[in-house]
Chain A
Amino acid sequence: MSFPAIEFKNVYKNYRKHFWSRQVAAVVNSSFAVEKNTVTGFIGPNGAGKTTSIKMLLGLIRPTSGTVRINGSDPLLPSARKGVSFLSERPYFYEHLSVRETLRFAHGLGQGYAKSGDADIGQALNAVELSGAADAKVKDLSKGMQQRLSMAQALLGNSDIFILDEPMSGLDPLGRRLFREILLALAQEGKTIFFSTHILDDVESVCSHVVVLSKGRLEYQGQLSQLLSQGQGGTDCVVIGLGDSEKKTLASMGCVVTKRTDGKDIIEIPAGKDPRQCQQYLCEKGLFCESMVKRTASLEEIIYKRK
């Protein structure tokens, strides 16, 4: 029987910060599913409930009501976390251990330490370009290096599901590029990746699916391309030498003509209108269309527009 890699069904999570404080709803009636072998971005503004949802997914907290499943199992059961790797928002490692000791410990917990573990550890360190710091103490590593260590321990154990909470935070541009490459490589291997992030460029470049949360509620779940297509805003056409009568005709066709600073005119053909109609008119008038570009909104613009 096939089931999604990750499933939330009517999940609510309420909590109190202090004994005397009122209950706060962190997640409200959240229902979504993440299919296997997909790369899903989990996005939303601060306080949307992303980290809370991820914690429920890993059995760190219990939902107030509803069902959370990972690989078809209840995440509160330790067996459900077999084959699942987690990278936390901030690296929470034992400072008294070295990099190698940390990975040995993680490897031992995942599947029991064996001699082959050292080879896996070496591979993981190479993948994140941290081999040179294998014997350094965790407390001596910078934030970026600790983040790489987090990724290295997530790569151990050949997991099928990767749950990453803001994996790119604290990384320099080279580090982010490295992580993107790692994620793409994992995706090619057929792994399921579910990661939350604020950097929407990373979502656009890596993800096939996206789940959008806002104020604890689900805003959108589905394919990224479908979401992006909502932001398609028509076509821009750059023309030289438009006369007043042509401008009037184009305006009657529903197009908006604006002047660019270099003297050229931009014809903004609205969404839904076939640009060939405009192109045909310009040809009849003997005018040359220098460029024709589809006008699309970025993911950030789409998401903010939805509010």
Chain B
Amino acid sequence: MIGYLRAIFEIASNTFKETVRNNVLYLVLFFVIALIILSVFVADWSVFARIQVMEDFGLATMSLSGLLLAVFIGVGMLGREISQKTVYHVITKPVSRTQFVCGKFAGLLTTLLINYFVMSVIFLGTLKYLGGAIHVSLIYAILLIWAEMSLVISASIFFSTLTTPMLASIFSLAFYIAGHLNDLLSIKFVEAKGSLYPALLKAIYFILPNLEHFNVRDNIVYGITLPVSYYSYAILYGILYTALFLTLSCVLFSKKDL
């Protein structure tokens, strides 16, 4: 068991080094920080109070950065390994493909969590500097964004085992959009007539994750507190979907001819 985990740790460390030395990471971080600072000016234009706008805008930016990181780094990670054949360096050792995928994910997630931690500190710092209060629901909202990001990253890794990096990027983007629009399906299949169409919509609703469960910005902006159980369930939801996508990725990758 220790040996099994040690190989995952080695791959994760290597992936961490690779991601940290990737310029795209810093570009996205810079972009997000710029947007968080820009939100101060956007806040002055809005009908809402400045702090509320900053909270909303800052959280939205962090959520979007997860998508950017998934598309630019997550998809390329596995796809590039396969196309450039650096995967041979690892798979020809006594390391299983499952260990490889898990190690890659763990390394990428660690880098991105550190990245998000930096973003969160800057976001909360800016908010505090401008007179806002750092209430616990903000922290919960950030945790949900981390859970969402982890899910999106695992989905992008899943897509990269299926197809080329270009198509996997498109699928990841479509997945993110569809996940956030999934809420509308629950309305649609109640209204829809017939038996096949509502059943199809219902199937799509339950297969695709509902990423709106991680979006609590409206509740924060309007001061409507959600119970702690909601946050626990949402984080569990994110972890379960991540585990599901990783399992499917491992299964697909183990069948793949390299």
| Chain A residues within CB distance 8 Å of chain B | 15, 55, 58-62, 78-82, 84, 86, 88, 90, 92-94, 96-97, 101, 105-106, 108-110, 112-113, 153
Contact = CB atoms under 8 A, between A and B. Distances in A.
Interface stretch (B62-70, B90-98, B136-144, B203-211): B90-98
B200 interface: no
Contacts of A15: 257
Given A81-B93, A97-B14, A97-B17, 17 more contacts: A58-B91, A58-B92, A60-B88, A62-B257, A78-B99, A79-B94, A81-B94, A88-B92, A90-B85, A94-B18, A94-B86, A96-B21, A105-B14, A106-B93, A109-B95, A112-B6, A112-B7
B195 interface: no
A225 B88 CA distance: 34
Contacts of A92: 84-89
Contact of A61 (B84, B86, B96, B258): B258
A70 B14 CA distance: 28
Interface in B139-163: none
Contacts of B94: 78-82, 109-110
A106 B22 CA distance: 21
Contacts of A82: 94
Q: Binding site of B, secondary structure by majority: helix, strand, loop or mixed?
A: helix
**Which 3 residue pairs of A and B lie closest in terms of their CB atoms, listed nearest first?**
A109-B93, A108-B10, A61-B257
A109 B18 contact: no
Interface residues of B, number: 26
B42 to A, nearest CB: 37
Of B7, B14, B85, B90, most buried by chain A (CB within 10 Å of CB) is B14
13 contacts: A60-B257, A78-B99, A79-B94, A92-B86, A92-B88, A92-B89, A93-B86, A94-B14, A94-B89, A106-B93, A108-B6, A109-B90, A112-B6
Interface in B4-57: 6-7, 10-11, 14, 17-18, 21-22
Contacts of B92: 58-60, 81, 84, 86, 88
Nearest to B14: A105
Given A55-B258, A60-B257, A112-B3, A88 B88 contact: yes
Interface in B63-81: none
B89 A106 contact: yes
Nearest to B98: A78
Nearest to B256: A61
Interface in B85-123: 85-96, 99
Nearest to B84: A92
Contacts of A109: 7, 10-11, 90, 93-95
Interface in B201-258: 257-258
Nearest to B255: A62
Contacts of B89: 92-94, 106, 153
B10 A78 contact: no
A113 B90 CA distance: 14
Contacts of B257: 15, 60-62
Contacts of A84: 92
A190 B10 CA distance: 31
Nearest to A86: B92
Nearest to A90: B85
Contacts of B86: 92-94
Contacts of A153: 89
A51 to B, nearest CB: 11
Contacts of A81: 92-95
Nearest to A88: B88
A290 to B, nearest CB: 55
B156 to A, nearest CB: 20
B88 A110 contact: no
A267 B84 CA distance: 58
A123 to B, nearest CB: 19
Contacts of A96: 17-18, 21-22
Contacts of A60: 88, 91-92, 257-258
A101 B14 CA distance: 9
A60 B90 CA distance: 11
A153 B17 CA distance: 19
Nearest to B4: A78
Contacts of B99: 78
Contacts of B88: 60, 86, 88, 92
Nearest to B89: A92
A61 B254 CA distance: 10
B25 to A, nearest CB: 12
A81 B92 CA distance: 7
